[in-house]
Structures are given as structure tokens and as C-alpha cells.
Amino acid sequence: MNLHIRIERVAQLTGLVLLAAACGDDGKSGDDSATAASSTAPTMPTTPTMSAGDTSGPSGSDDSDPAPTTTGIGGGGTQGESSSGEDEGGLKFDVEVETGTAGETEGPSAGGSCRPSEIHGAAGGFPAFADPAYAPFIDRSVAVMTTNAYSVDGWVLHIFDISPPVPAPNLNYDAPRYRHPTWTKATLGQVFGLTLDSFGNIYVAPTTVYGPNPAPATIKRIDGKTGAISDFATLPNNGPAFGNINYDCISQTLYASSHEDGRIYQIDMSGQIKSTYRHSTKDVTMGPAADPGEPDGAFSALGDRVWAVQSHAGRLYYSVWNEDIGRPGTDNEIWSVGYVDEGGVPDPAQAKLEFVAPMYLGGATSNPISDLSFAATGWMLISQRTMTGDASTSAHQSTTYEYQYNNGTWELKGTTFIVGELPGSAAGGVDHDFAPDGYVWMTGDALDFGTPNVVYGLQGTPHGGGDITNSTLIDYDGDIQSQSKTLEGDVEIPIPGDAMPVPPPG
């Protein structure tokens, strides 16, 4: 199979010239005139608000921190066209298929379950639930988010319509939201880590980031058509649970970082352990590990503990939790390890320290990196989670950083994304959309802190950077009167099938 990308236009994105074809460019363009912050309500999209039920749980702990003045840094811009279908604008693939006379495939192939936009391993198809309440979300740009809930009846998985037109910045945007009646803490458990496969199925992993978890071992799967929940994989774990998870479409496996034994588990799509990799020892096993005494119910030591995981361009990138604000020590790190082959088994001989994470806003310590994402222009985004202990979380001392790859090295671009009205309010989830003038989406606390609303949930900031003054703010539970401090989790943005794939480093 040959993938011929016909050159229709050229886009200059962060120093990389990306060539793509514009196909089906007949969708309506987004609103490129986001207004300045004001006390009036933001402009709402034409899509109606739909939900499978809406409740507001009790508020979180009090955010009594002073609210310092923040200053926008970085370019503005608005959320551009982003599509889950074939009928809207943006950078597109035009794929032609040629088959040999004997039916052989020729030339490069995406491999695995990869769509053309996923050929370097990053995956994320669009859910297409049959529930009539989800119908307005079909062919829309969406964000999928995990949270904690105070009660067992509270939702822990949410989908928001983030399609243009762009609402007014720096105000609560009551985005259309969908939550299946079963996506509660009672059925999904206490979850943080989140990923989607190429077909729009969602996976969530148990966590102790919000506190002890009585069900720490089973990763759940949410069917992308029915919304039904099933047990995907049960791994060895007696308490500490997992950091984050990521699906790789080339190997068609899922990676999960364990906070108990320090291993990254590679899981096939039948839920079986294919391999494990331990950062501290560079030990690889085929099938389950046989570490003496594991699982023992204890957290792996700092420095042996992996959190964020992301497959990209033949390598698995991951973060190492070395310190937090409660336990200063060695700086937190980002590593990567290559694969033996397209089967996705890590090759420890290729393990490499990519960079040391910066101190929080010039301080003496940093918080662990709980999520990382490779953006459409090739840069890397990392987001921290404020932690004071193994299962103790806090807020307002974490942020999102941007790195650019230059001559073999990831270089810090600076603090280009200020999360929250109380700066440093990143909650540890980050992803991006594929629109030419799109947004970086981050989970966060105190996005608006009573001026005039109380917003905890998602902040969408233009790719060029900024703060709440040029960002879209979404309160995840729709309750803008009370706080939901430290309840926010991870976020994932599905990848349009016709988008340009994230380019490999180089």
C-alpha cells in the first residue's frame, strides 16, 4: 500500500513545513474573533447541551489562596477548525491506495490498527455512542476527561463538545457535556489515567492520586459504540494502583505504569500481559513479572516509580517520579526507551534520559509529571500534578511546560501555559487538538476563582500559549458556585482521521 500525500497547501508550524492535502474542505469555519473578557455570558455554540443526567456533588476543600494578578505570555489566536469527520477544514491527508497485481501491499503502511493520522503510534479514535443523548456529539470535536467524585453516585468520566465557535475567554463556558448513566464511581471506580484506541473505545485506570483505592488492580474498558463498561485487564496490584495508560496503535497494545512494583505493563487487546519493563533496573520480562515479594501492597520507591506514559515514533516516553513538594529530593525526569520491533516490547539497551524537569516556577522542587503529549507541530507537552505524598494530593504548585526538539535535544520553551486564575493550578492532564489555530487542553483547579464564577475543570489555551485571559474555561460538573479542588484527572482529545500525524522528533 502506497500512501500518496498530494500537496495542496503548505503550513508552517513551529519551524516544521508540513505538507498536506485539503479534502472535503466544505465545513463551516470557526469563529476567529474571540472577544475580550467581560462580565457578559459567553457566546454559545449551536449544538444543544445534552447530558445523560446532571448532578452537582459537594464542594471540595477550600481554595483560600490569594489570587495574584496573572499576565498573558505568548501568542493569542483562537480555536480553529477541528473535525472528527471528512467534511471540515484543516490539514488533511488525501490517501490513495495502490495494490500489486498479486494483491501484495507496497510502500509504507501505518500498520496495526493505525489510521493515517496515527502512523507514529499516537492513537485516539472518536467515540460514537448509540445513545440518543450522544447524537449531537457525533462529528464534533470532543474532550474526554476523568475526575474523582465525592459520592458513589458522582460521575468520574465526562465528554465535552469543544467545537468552534470559540466562546468568550476568561469566563465559564457551559460546554455541551455527555455522561452515560453508568459512568460513576460505583461502576468505574476511582480513576485518573485515560486513553482511547483507534476505534474510539475508552480505557481508564484505577488510581490512588485522590487517596486510598479499595479496587486498585483492574483497568476498565468503555465500549465506543454502546458505552458499556467491562473489565479490560486485571494486573498484579494490592493497593498503590497505576499512574497513567496509553494505547499504541502499531503494536495494538496498551501500556500502564504501576505505582506498586515500578513496572510499565504492556497489555495486548485481550487483556493479557505481553511484557513488563522496570525503569530502575532496566529489567524486561515476557509475560508477567516474577519480582520477589510483589505485589506487596507498598508503593515503589521514589526514583523507581513511573507515571506518564506515551508511545511515539518507535519509543515509549515516560516520566519518573523522583520528588514532590512533600518530599524534596532528586529532580523529576522524562525518559524514553526504544522497542525491540513493531511488537512494542521495550529494549532496555535503548533507554535514554531525555531531560530533567524544571523546578516549579523557579522554586527548589518540582512535582511529578502525570501526563505528556506530543502536539501536532512535534513539540512535547508535560503536565505536573501537585503531590505531598504517595496518595496525598494538593494544588497550585504545578504547571504545564512545552519542549521543542532541536539537534537531538528536547529544549524547554518556557512557561508558555499558565493554568488557572491562581497560577500553578494544573491538575496533571494535558492534550491538544489538531486544528491549525487550535488549543492545548489542560485539567486544572481554580481556573476562575470567583470573578465572577468558581470554575474547576478544563482550560483550553491557544497553541501559542497564554493564560486564562485568552483561554476557554469549562467547569466539569456545571456547578459554578462551589469548589471541586483536587478532583480533576486526565484529559484526552481524539485525533481526526484525516489530520496530519504528529511528526517524529528530528
Q: List the pLDDT tens digit at each of the 506 positions of the chain.
A: 333 322 222 233 233 223 333 333 222 223 322 222 333 333 333 333 333 333 333 334 445 443 333 322 222 222 223 333 333 322 222 222 233 333 333 333 468 999 999 999 989 999 999 999 999 999 999 999 999 998 778 999 999 999 999 899 999 999 999 999 999 999 999 999 999 999 999 999 999 999 999 999 999 999 999 999 999 999 999 999 999 999 999 999 999 999 999 999 999 999 999 999 999 999 999 999 999 999 999 999 999 999 999 999 999 999 999 999 999 999 999 999 999 999 999 999 999 999 999 988 768 899 999 999 998 888 999 999 999 999 999 999 999 999 999 999 999 997 789 999 998 999 999 999 988 788 999 999 999 998 889 999 999 999 999 999 999 999 999 889 889 999 999 999 999 998 999 899 97
Name the class of domain 46-88+120-492: mainly beta
pLDDT at 45: 32
Q: What is the rounded distance in angstroms from the CA atom of residue 365 to the CA atom of residue 359?
A: 5
DSSP class of 117 = G
pLDDT at 30: 31
Using CA atoms of 69, 72, 78, 83 in order, give the dihedral in degrees to the nearest 10. -90
- pTM listed for this prediction: 0.81
pLDDT at 363: 80
pLDDT at 61: 45
In 3-state terms, the chain is what percent helix, strand and coil (to 5)?
5, 35, 60
CA distances from 214 to 186, 207, 237, 240, 449 (A): 12, 10, 11, 10, 33
Strand 273-278 to 242-248 pairing = unpaired
pLDDT at 27: 29
User: What is the domain partition of the chain in residue ranges?
Assistant: 46-88+120-492
**What DSSP line would sit under 140-192, residue for residue?**
S-EEEEEE--SSTTSB-EEEEE-PSSPPPTTSB----EE--TT-BHHHH-SEE
pLDDT at 377: 80
- Residue 99 corresponds to which amino acid? T
Q: What is the rounded distance in angstroms from the CA atom of residue 451 to the CA atom of residue 26?
A: 39
Half-sphere exposure of 208 (CA within 13 A, CB side): 24
| CB neighbour burial string for 307-344, b if at least 16 within 10 angstroms, e if fewer | bbbbbbbbbbbbbbbbbbbeeeeeebbbbbbbbeeeeb
pLDDT at 271: 98
